[in-house]
Structure 1
Amino acid sequence: MEHITHPFSELFEQLGLDASHEGIAHFLSAHRLPPEVELVDAPFWSKSQSNFLKEGLQNDSDWAEIIDQLNSSLR
């Protein structure tokens, strides 16, 4: 089975966020998560965004790796 990796821009598109280089950089600089807050519980996600992230991680989907990278980038 082929392993698919998605770039940040595709993840941001899936989340309905600005997927441009500038948009991603702005989002990452404007949002920070303390260690005790799970990524999927961040206050800045809508319910559907949170569900997408949660399902991607729980199902170990092809999105899981880039979702983990997003989590790291927000710390």
Structure 2
Amino acid sequence: MKALVAGVQEKLAALQATLSDREERLGVCQTRVEELEQQLQSKLQEQQATKKKLEATHSIYQALRKKLQLQ
């Protein structure tokens, strides 16, 4: 009976170690996901700013083109 209990305790300890390792890996993965989300958000903001600049430049171009055509 003691051998059975010892075997179960040994397996439980191994499972707890595995769980601990996986929880640690999960934490690392979650941190990396957060970092990637921040990078994506930053890139999105950059692209939105670039789009606004391009739209403004295009509007200026169109206005100048129209002005030149009227002359």
Query: Which category of TM-score, normalised to the shorter sequence, fits these structures?
Result: under 0.3
More helix by share: 2
TM-score between both structures, scaled by the size of structure 2: 0.21
RCO comparison, higher one (Cα < 8 Å, 6+): 1
Larger Rg: 2
